[in-house]
Structure 1
């Protein structure tokens, strides 16, 4: 007798890429590691056909999204539902909040900067709107590294899940029987070195 049809664990996931811009490159702690995890998450989003929402903070002054991510954002095509410039710190702006994807609760993964400002305010707004928030600790940082654990602890207490990119990706899938699983294993293998570098650089021995 055949078992149940494999299906994803998350029913309405989304990816938020918060303000990973050129001008921040020299100032953010382990900025290159944030880029590595964002790249991995964008590859996963492409394989799993997940909606992606990208923002920049005051693009005219702080620059565009980093060059390393531009090809993946472009390749995502219609999966990128918003590429929004903002002055508000939170990403949860009308171009995102009014998107049809969020008419039902979503499981949102956030990567980007800064942990204690834009990432925190975005997460708090998403939680207030009834969504499930996953802050990927191997994909967020701040200019002062000491801000990061404080921000992550605050977000835990507020109800966000602090986890890692690989954990979120596998939880999103939920079942090795889904058609996309083989391609996702390839993504995980290709980015294995990046994953180790990001974990070591941003987390060390603890989250």
Structure 2
């Protein structure tokens, strides 16, 4: 019980959510290269650690599909089209429930103040799921919207801020972990200019 209050990440019962990292937003989002790189690395880490991955695309007919840098590593992950802002569509919720026992979600994507924010609210309030928000993997078109959303989310119970590297090393937990070298290799990759926590 104490571990749950502290927000300690555990690979058993954790999933990755990728929110709307789509082609149309490439030139619009503040520090979009960092969002893409971080999300790509988190997808690959999820693959290494066998975490379920859930992906949404906001109205892809107009906004395009998930950027290829991320899409190429999605494998069997199901991609859900949506018009509502939260990722928690009825279709995704059904697939999420079918996995069973997921109590923690790592979350990357855009935009922080709309789809990411509302996803956090739904996961915590409706599903009693801890959200671990990768601050180096979420952004908005305007920095003021991103920073305001992060300040608001920092006040919510059940929402924990982390960086992608912080999360992946916590999931591994020990240099003797059989997947440590793969996770360590991901952490050493060159990164674009990073996003700040707030």
With normalisation by structure 1, the TM-score equals 0.84
RMSD, aligned α-carbons: 1.6
Q: Which residue of 1 aligns with 2:58?
A: 57
**CA contact under 8 A between 2:18 and 2:54: conserved in structure 1?**
yes
Equivalent position to 1:154, from 132, 139, 152: 152
Runs (5+) with no aligned partner, structure 1? 1-7
What pairs with 1:1-207 in structure 2 (closer than 5 Å)?
Answer: 9-73=10-74, 76-77=75-76, 80=77, 82-99=78-95, 100=97, 103-128=100-125, 129-159=127-157, 160-189=159-188, 191=189, 193-194=190-191, 197-199=192-194, 202-203=195-196, 206-207=197-198
Distance 1:29 1:135 in 2: 17
- Cα distance change of structure 1 residues 108 and 101 upon mapping to structure 2, 3 Å threshold: farther
**CA contact under 8 A between 1:105 and 1:130: conserved in structure 2?**
no
- Cα distance change of structure 1 residues 125 and 102 upon mapping to structure 2, 3 Å threshold: farther
Deviation at 1:126, TM superposition (A): 0.5
- Of structures 1 and 2, the larger Rg is shown by 1
Distance 1:10 1:60 in 2: 34
Runs (5+) with no aligned partner, structure 2? 1-8
Deviations 1:41-94 (A, max 9, x none): 011011111110011000001111112212111xx33xx1x2000000000122
Distance 1:39 1:91 in 2: 18
Q: How many residues align?
A: 187
